[in-house]
Amino acid sequence: MEDKQKEAAARSKLFGVGRRKSAVAQVKLTDKAAEKIVNGEKFEEYFTTVDMQKIALAPMDLTSTAEQYGMTVKVKGGGKHAQADAVRHGLARALLAANAEWRIQLKSNGMLTRDARVKERKKPGLKRARRAPQFSKR
């Protein structure tokens, strides 16, 4: 009885939040290997290009866990490419929760690093963040 509770508790902790620019992805790993769902859609339907699919699933390919885990993802903000990168970051964090020995592999490939480049805010008196109004002498 206690073993089942421990297994259920361990499975519920396979969760990771990934971010890139303004995109945020909440990734939950599941036992169903064939199940890959993003925002209620199939993974291949949400990320239509092969490049974005490779980016998002890179941590699973690196750790050879594509047949072991499935995933359910909620992602919002940013564009599709930033969302794919956010899914990659969240997936790497979730896999790290599953097995801490993968940290060296994931970190050396840059999958645990958050891309913090966000658009700079507009400043008062300027047209954009740094663009000043054109000077007119007369």
User: In the predicted model, what is the mean pLDDT of the chain?
Assistant: 90
Say if residue 9's pLDDT is above 70: no
How much of the chain exceeds pLDDT 70, in percent?
91
Nearest to 85 by CA among 48, 50, 113: 113
**Residue 34: its pLDDT value, please?**
79
Q: Report residue 7's pLDDT band, with 50, 70 and 90 as the boundaries.
A: low
Q: What does pTM read for this prediction?
A: 0.83
Nearest to 99 by CA among 16, 5, 19, 14: 14
Q: Report residue 132's pLDDT band, with 50, 70 and 90 as the boundaries.
A: very high
**Residue 33: its pLDDT value, please?**
78
Mean pLDDT for the stretch of residues 19-29: 94
